[in-house]
Chain A
Amino acid sequence: AQSVTQPDIHITVSEGASLELRCNYSYGATPYLFWYVQSPGQGLQLLLKYFSGDTLVQGIKGFEAEFKRSQSSFNLRKPSVHWSDAAEYFCAVARFGNEKLTFGTGTRLTIIP
């Protein structure tokens, strides 16, 4: 069965600083990988996804993620965070042929001035 680990429960970053959120997955074949963001009281919004091809994927709001098969990782990055990026971030995996998502426990991002 697939699984996702997000080792950081809570991260605090200064506005304008760079950000990296970690995600490790466990899956026997090439996975479909996703990053979702959830603002308070809102549903989940897709930031970006990886299916195949270029291992560096670009998403919305200036986010990017890099798939590293050797490390079973799919870390999310942003060069300069904005106060509006404060939210909960979830990494998720799906297996080929099925869009059912397995989520990590999430990382809560706090932005300080």
Chain B
Amino acid sequence: EAGVAQSPRYKIIEKRQSVAFWCNPISGHATLYWYQQILGQGPKLLIQFQNNGVVDDSQLPKDRFSAERLKGVDSTLKIQPAKLEDSAVYLCASTHGTGGGTEAFFGQGTRLTVV
């Protein structure tokens, strides 16, 4: 079974530039998550999708971050404009989405450095 795919693996941009990350979840997984992991901290949820609808985006800085999951499969997360404090690893995860506490599978992440 193929895992969660993310690209790119690494990205370096200057502040105020824009950047986009892509995620393809495990086939058949209805729920997709984007987490932000700042160095030395645990992952923090940014947004949760159920199929192509947003379930929770309460911690997404909507003035600069946006995400979409067209057709309920792959997803993109965008930052525009980026700030220095956005430097982090962005992790995508997916679950079957049955609400039964099933395992979340994580991609390898995209490491973003804003200079």
Is residue B43 within 8 Å, beta carbon to beta carbon, of the partner chain? yes
Question: B33 to chain A: which residues have CB within 8 Å?
Answer: 100-101
Q: Mark A1-12, 1 if CB is under 8 A from B, else 0.
A: 000100000000
Given A43-B4, A43-B109, A44-B91, are A94 and B44 also a contact pair (CB < 8 Å)?
A: no
* For the complex of A and B, 3 pairs with smallest distance between CB atoms: A103-B42, A43-B106, A32-B101
Binding site for A on B (CB under 8 A): 4, 31, 33, 35, 40-45, 48, 55-56, 91, 93, 95, 97, 99-104, 106-109
Q: List 16 A-B contacts (CB under 8 A).
A: A4-B42, A41-B108, A42-B108, A43-B106, A43-B107, A44-B91, A44-B93, A51-B100, A51-B101, A94-B101, A99-B31, A99-B102, A100-B56, A101-B45, A103-B43, A104-B42
